[in-house]
Amino acid sequence: MAGTNPFDARCLKDLQVGEKAYKFYNIQGLNDPRLSRLPYSIRILLESAIRNCDEFEVKSSDVENILNWEQTSKQDIEIPFKPARVLLQDFTGVPAVVDLAAMRDAFVKIGGTPSRINPLCPVDLVIDHSIQVDVARSLEALQQNEEFEFYRNRERFEFLKWGQKAFENLLIVPPGSGIVHQVNLEYLARIIFDRNGLLYPDSVVGTDSHTTMINGAGVVGWGVGGIEAEAVMLGQSISMVLPEVVGFKLTGKLSDAATATDLVLTVTKMLRQRGVVNKFVEFFGNGVENLSIADRATIGNMAPEYGATVGYFPMDGKTLDFLRTSGRSGEKIAFIEAYLKANGLFRDYNGEDPVFSGAVLELDLGAVVPCVAGPKRPHDRVSVSDLKNEFITGLTGPVNFKGFGVPNPEAVSTFDYKGQTFNLKHGSVVIAAITSCTNTSNPGVMLAAGLLAKNAVAKGLKVAPYIKTSLSPGSGVVTKYFDKAGVTGFLNELGFTVAGYGCMTCIGNSGDLEEEVLKAISANDLVATSVLSGNRNFEGRVHPATRANYLASPPLVVAYALAGRVDFDFETEPLGVFEGNPVFLRDIWPSRELVNHTVNEIITPEMFAEVYNRIAQGTDRWNSLEAPEGTLYSWKDESTYIHNPPFFKTLTLEIPSIKDITNAYALLKLGDSITTDHISPAGNIARNSPAAKYLQVRGVPPKEFNSYGARRGNDEIMMRGTFANIRLVNTLINHPGPQTKHIPSNEEMDIYEASAKYQQDGVDLIVIAGKEYGSGSSRDWAAKGPYLLGVKAVIAESYERIHRSNLLGMGILPLQFLPDQNATSLELTGFEKFNIVLNGHVGVQQIIEVVTDSGKNFNVKARVDTDVEVEYFRHRGILHYVLRKLAKNN
C-alpha cells in the first residue's frame, strides 16, 4: 500500500513569490553531486519520482536509479513515470472516450461503480482532425468546410460533448480553434503546475506522435498509444526504460535564405543517421539562444520523424519571453521563473553543460540550406538545389523510397480546365498546402510565406488554377497577425485562402482533386506531386493521386505552387516575367531581417488572449449541439460513427492463461517501414472496400462515407479498414493494395474477408514484417484493428516505440527477429504454418522458439520490455489490467 513520501523531509521546501507562498519538491535537497551532471530532461523525471514517491508505485530505488543515470541508462533499467496530464486530438480522442464509456459498462458487469472509470489527471481534447479541404481557393472556403465538418461529424461531436459532461477533468476544445499541438503550445501548456499551492513541472503524454512539439517550451512530453493514454488517465504510471540522452549542440545563426523548417529537416536527417529510437535528444549550445520557442517547437515536433522519444529544449529566458508574448499572466510567469531557478531547472547556456550519452552531434546553424524532404518519407532530406536532378533520376530508377520505375518519363497529359488548356507531367504540383502544427505555429516561417506572396503578386506572378492551394492556420492567432501584417489579401490572390483551423492536408484530409486533374494524372499514370508544410508524407497519406509528396517550409510551398512543378531549378529558371524582365525566386524572397522585424512589430499578447478567451465560450455551432446525459452512454446499434466495441464484453475477474500460438498462418508478409498509415489509414474510404460495403448496406451514400479517421469510434468500420492502404505491399500477392492470399484456399481476397474466413475456422494469425514496423503517427487502431482481425503476434525486424506499446496494449505479442536475421535470410515465404511455443509464460525480452511446418525453425525475442508489460500481456491488455485492478480495490 502507498505510504508517506520519504523525501518530504529533505526536499519539500517553501517558496515565496511576491505575497504568495508556495511549496515545491527541490531536487537539490538531495545534496547529491550526480545531480549537476544530469541532462535537464532527466531532472524532470527525477523531480516526478521524488514528488510521487510512496514506496509502492514509485520507490526510493527509482529515485536512486535516476540519479545514477550515467550507468543505469546503459542497463535497460525500468522506472515509473507519472505525467501531469494527457493530451488528445479527436481522431484518437473519440476512440479513447468510446473505450472509457465501454469500460464503464464492463465495470458495472463485474460489480464496480461506473464513476470510478474517470480521468484522475487533467485531460485536454482538441477537435482538430475532422475538417477537410472540401473547398479551396475561395473566400467562402472556411465557412463551407466548417459546415461540411459539422454535417459529417455531428454524431461524433455530440458524443464528445456527452463525454465532457459525463467525465471529470476532461476539457474539450471545440472545432475551429486550431491544431492540437499549436493550441497546446500557445494555451494549454501549464509549463509549471500550481496545484493548491504545490508547484511542479508540466509533463504530458498525448495520443498523437507530435505531442513532442511542446518539448520546445521545456515541457517533457511525448506521444503514446490511445490505450496507454487511457491507462494514465485512470491513474497508472507509465513504465519506461530509463533512456539514454543524445546531446545535440547548436552553434551560430541561420543564414538569410534558411528557415526553421530547413533546420528541422537537416536535424531530422542527422538524427536518423545517428539512430535515436527510444532515446531522448537534448539540444544545447549558444545556437539555441538564437532560436525562438517557435523554432525550437518546430524541431521538437519532428521527434517522431527522427525516431526519438523527445527532442528537448530546457526552459530558459526565451521560454519566459514566449509566455509573456502568448498572453500568460504576470503572476504565473513570476512563479514559473522563481520555481525554475530555485529548483535548478533554468538553463544557462553560458554555464556548465550536463553529461550526455556517447558522442555529441553538432551543427552550425549557418550551414543550413533550403531543403525539402521526400518523396515518400519525412527523413529523406534533399537540398532545393538538388531536387530537380534527384526527382528526374528517381523517375526511372527502381521502385524504392526515392524511385518510381516510370517507363515513360516524358509523358504529358493535356487537359482543359476553366476555359484554359494545361499540360500535366511527372513532377507537376497538384496540391500545395500550408498546413500542420509543425510550421503553422511558427510566426517566422508563416509571415515569410505571406511576405513572399506579397512580393510575388507585386511581380504579377500567379498560381495555375488547377493546383489545389490551401491555408490551414494552427490557431486564430495566425489570421490575426496575417491581417495586421497586411499579407492576407496577397495569399488569397495566390489561392492560399483559409480552408479551416485544423490538421487538414497533413493528415490526409486534403479533399478531392478536380475530376479533370484526376483524369489527366490517370491517363499517363503520372507521378503527380504535393508540396506541404507538414510532418508526414508517407505513400497514400496526402492524397491517393499524389505519388510524390514533399515536406517544405511555408514560403517554399508558395514558391513551388508558383513554379507548378518540383523538377524546377530556382537558380536558373524564372518563375515568370514582369515588365519584360525575368523574375527569379531570389527576387521575391523576403530577407530574414524583414521577417524578424515584422514578427517583432505585430505580434502581441492581446492577440493570444482574444483568440483563446473564446475557447471556454465555444462556437455557435458547438453550443447548439444537443448531447445526451447520464453516467453511462446510451449506445445506438444503428450508429455508423459510435459503436460499443467488443474489447471488454468477455471480461472476467480471472486472468486468462497464456496459450501457444499454433498452426498459425501469416495474414500478411510485409517489408520495411510499414507505417501506421499502411496499417490503419486515416483518409478516404475507397468505394469498393469492405468498409464501404458495410456503410452502403446501412444506407450511407458514398458522398457521406467521410474518412477512416472520422469513423474511429466504430470498431466495425475500423476493423474493415485495417491494412486498407492502396500502397500496401504484401508479398503474399504480386501487386500493391489491401488484399492478401487466403492460404488454405489459395484464393486472393480483401484482407478483412480473409481474416473472417480464418477466424470462422478458428485459425490463429500472425503478421511478418521488416524494419521500423509501425512507424508514423500514433494510432491505437493500428493495434486494435489487427486484434479484431485475429492477429495473435507480429514478427518484425524492429518496431516503432509507440506501436510496439500499442500492440502489447491490445494483447498482441510483438516478436523480433534476432540480430542479422529476417524473413529473407531465414527463407520464409509466408505460406508456412507457424507454431510459437510460449509454455504458459512470457518474460521480459524472452527468447522464444518459432517452429514451422516446412522445417525452418528459428528463435525470436519477445519485445515485452518491462515487468509491467509482462503483466499487461498476461491480462491481455493494459485496459483489462486496469479494470481488474480497479475491481479489486472497488
Cα separation, 567 vs 492, whole angstroms: 25
Q: Which three cell numbers stand for residue 68?
A: 545514477
pTM for this prediction = 0.87
Closest CA to 800 of 773, 768, 769, 770: 773
Cα separation, 539 vs 658, whole angstroms: 37
Can you list the pairs that 731-737 forms with residues at least 24 positions away whose Cβ atoms lie under 8 Å? 731/669, 731/670, 731/671, 731/830, 732/666, 732/668, 732/669, 732/830, 732/831
216-237 tens-digit pLDDT: 999 999 998 888 898 899 888 8
Closest CA to 642 of 155, 148, 230: 155
Cα separation, 464 vs 421, whole angstroms: 11
| pLDDT level of residue 770 (50, 70, 90 thresholds) | very high
pLDDT exceeds 90 at position 57: no
Closest CA to 503 of 704, 683, 718: 683
CB contact at 8 A, 728 and 788: no
Note the residue count of the chain. Answer: 890
The residue assigned the cell 509501425 is 774
Helices (H), 625-779: 676-679, 690-697, 715-720, 751-760
Q: Give the relative orientation of helices 443-458 and 592-602 as an angle to the nearest 10 degrees.
A: 110
Cα separation, 420 vs 522, whole angstroms: 20
What does the pLDDT average to over 293-297? Answer: 97
For 157-193, b/e burial (b = at least 16 CB within 10 A) is bbbbbbbeebbeebebbbbbbbbbbbbbbbbbbbbbe
**Which whole-number Å values give the CA distances from 357 to 62, 73, 200, 266, 354, in the listed order?**
20, 9, 26, 21, 10
pLDDT exceeds 60 at position 826: yes
What does the pLDDT average to over 313-329? Answer: 96
Q: Is 301 exposed, middle or buried (0-12, 13-18, 19+ CB in 10 A)?
A: buried
pLDDT exceeds 90 at position 594: yes
Sign, CA dihedral 271-272-275-280, equals positive
Measured CA angle at 458 (ends 452, 461), to 5 deg = 75
Spatial neighbors of 795 by CB under 8 A, at least 6 apart, are 766, 767, 768, 769, 815, 816, 817, 823, 850, 860
404-413 tens-digit pLDDT: 999 999 999 9
What does the pLDDT average to over 581-588? Answer: 98
What does the pLDDT average to over 385-398? Answer: 97
144-159 tens-digit pLDDT: 999 999 998 999 999 9
The pLDDT assigned to 228 comes to 86
In one letter, which amino acid is 510?
S
**Which whole-number Å values give the CA distances from 840 to 88, 792, 859, 861, in the listed order?**
36, 15, 17, 16
| pLDDT level of residue 778 (50, 70, 90 thresholds) | low
pLDDT exceeds 60 at position 529: yes
Cα separation, 288 vs 254, whole angstroms: 11
Q: Which three cell numbers stand for residue 790?
A: 485475429
The pLDDT assigned to 227 comes to 85
335-349 tens-digit pLDDT: 999 999 999 999 998
For the chain, list the domains and their CATH numbers.
Answer: 85-367 (3.30.499.10), 371-606 (3.30.499.10), 656-681+725-874 (3.20.19.10)
Closest CA to 160 of 129, 193, 186, 125: 125
687-745 tens-digit pLDDT: 999 999 999 999 999 989 988 888 999 999 999 999 999 889 999 999 999 999 999 99
| pLDDT level of residue 2 (50, 70, 90 thresholds) | low
What does the pLDDT average to over 436-459? Answer: 95
CB contact at 8 A, 535 and 436: yes
What does the pLDDT average to over 132-137? Answer: 96
What does the pLDDT average to over 28-56? Answer: 96
pLDDT exceeds 90 at position 499: yes
Higher pLDDT pick, 237 / 498:
498
344-390 tens-digit pLDDT: 999 998 889 999 999 999 999 999 999 999 999 999 999 999 999 99
What does the pLDDT average to over 484-505? Answer: 97
Cα separation, 44 vs 354, whole angstroms: 14
CB contact at 8 A, 292 and 323: no
| pLDDT level of residue 288 (50, 70, 90 thresholds) | very high
**DSSP helix/strand/coil, 220:** strand
The pLDDT assigned to 599 comes to 96
The whole-chain average pLDDT of the chain stands at 95
Q: Give the relative orientation of helices 260-274 and 443-458 as an angle to the nearest 10 degrees.
A: 130
β-bridge mates for residue 248, sequence order: 283, 361
The pLDDT assigned to 540 comes to 83
Cα separation, 61 vs 7, whole angstroms: 12
The pLDDT assigned to 787 comes to 97
